[in-house]
Amino acid sequence: MSVEVRVLRSGEEWLAAFSVFSSAMIGLPILADQDAQRLAAASETGRVYGAFYEGQLTGMTESYAGTLTVPGGARVRHAAVTHVGVKPGWARRGIVSALLERQLRDARAGGDVLASLRASTAGLYGRFGYGVATHAASVEIDARHGRLRVGQQSDAVTLVAVSAEWETMRHIYERHPPVRAGAITRPAYWWEHAAIRQRNAATPYYVAAHAGPDGPDGYVRYHAGPSDGWFSDRQRTLVVDDFVAGSAQASVDLLGYLLSLDIAQRIVFSSCPLDEPLGWLLEDCRDATVTSVFDETWLRILDTHVALKARRYNGLGEAVIEVTDPLLAGNGGRYRISARGAEPTDQAADVTLDVDTLAALYLGGTRWWQMARAQRLDVRAASAIAVLDGLFACESAPYSGTRF
């Protein structure tokens, strides 16, 4: 019997599908009924899919609409894919394939240029054209010894009242959105989900906001790390969940605020850009340690033509690439890339690659020479690799910073 995938329209259907997703994830906390109902009400009509196998609801996926910033600053239409799950005992029956393929086709037909997700199973999504486009780092700061080496405006950061926390964060993020390639918008659904997730956390959280010359321009959200006995613990840890700074000074002042919280011995940034200069802000750079690096954005290019034209290219020379996409008809093609932009061409290709490999290269976080070394490219003109590396290079490491 084949898998039937259809759009779920009602809140009741969403709740049933989300129950399937929760059972598939195992490690996620169960949402209270009222929280699940809030999420169901905030989900976007037409973007929630259920899979039915032998008449049973056996899987779901959904997305929400927004934009993703590409190199050069343009923002293109983007689908944030989330809640991908199959009911326990129903794996390997084509359910995930049916869900994701339908979702991608509909997203492309609806005008989305890119899709992205956070992968719980890394080996799965390459089969559907997703590639790892950004990485993130966890950074630990020794708060006992860490001292800023730059000037701090200590009175610029204040703790936000509980009643105003989420409104304050949303206002700051919308007014000062991150400008790195890979950053995405945070619509109402994201904020609702983040608030619910935080309410169900094991420890309370706090928000401190930064006052810039034209109003609030940054914030940090943090909580106490796990501890068997907080007051007697000699490794009390503050975990930073969200760090948004609209200026270099805001970044300095927010870090200085965290260092001023004397009760903590460690400050852990759970996710940072790979090139975030936290260590350089300290008198001793060894007081900041990268403890792990992990994949962040899994990107899927839905419209190769629009995506390639949207981003900026640097460097000299030009090269012709040929992109193949076995899943989305009409999404492949041959393009001439130069500092002037990307244009379709009939010229012979210098490099041929699959769409998942292009996704990994698109934001500039992965180098073309790396993919050539990994034999992910069919290289017909070796000199094109250095040219493409120059064209796709970015000033800052791409990074999203938004979990969903």
Which residue has tokens 């049973």? 56
The 10s digit of each residue's pLDDT in 224-253 is 998 888 888 888 999 999 999 999 999 999
382: closest CA among 370, 395, 372? 372
pLDDT for 100 equals 98
Q: Enumerate domains of the chain plus CATH numbers.
A: 4-112 (3.40.630.30), 136-293 (3.40.630.30), 301-392 (3.30.1050.10)
Burial 234-270 (b: 16+ CB within 10 A, else e): eebbbbbbbbbbbeebbbbbbbbbbbeeeebebbbbb
- CA–CA separation, 232 and 229 (whole Å): 6
Question: Strands of 4-7's sheet, edge to edge?
Answer: 4-7, 48-53, 56-69, 75-86, 114-117, 298-301, 130-132
pLDDT for 402 equals 98
Strands 130-132 and 298-301: antiparallel
Helix, strand, coil content of the chain in percent (nearest 5): 30, 30, 40
pLDDT for 1 equals 62
- CA–CA separation, 374 and 384 (whole Å): 16
Q: Which amino acid appears at position 306 of this protein?
A: V
Using left for φ > 0, alpha for ψ between -120 and 50, and beta otherwise, residue 83 falls in left
Question: Strands of 237-245's sheet, edge to edge?
Answer: 157-159, 205-212, 215-224, 237-245, 266-272, 135-142, 288-295
The 10s digit of each residue's pLDDT in 128-170 is 999 999 999 999 999 999 999 999 998 999 999 999 999 999 9
Measured in residues, the chain has a length of 404
Q: pTM, whole model, 2 decimals?
A: 0.95
Per-residue pLDDT of the chain (404 residues; tens, 9 = 90+): 689 999 999 999 999 999 999 999 988 888 888 999 999 999 999 999 999 988 899 999 999 999 999 999 999 999 999 999 999 999 889 999 999 999 999 999 999 999 999 999 989 999 999 999 999 999 999 999 999 999 999 899 999 999 999 999 999 999 999 999 999 999 999 999 999 988 888 889 999 999 999 999 999 999 999 888 888 888 899 999 999 999 999 999 999 999 999 999 999 999 999 999 999 999 999 999 999 999 999 999 999 999 999 999 998 999 999 999 999 999 999 999 999 999 999 999 999 999 999 999 999 999 999 999 999 999 999 999 999 999 999 999 999 999 99
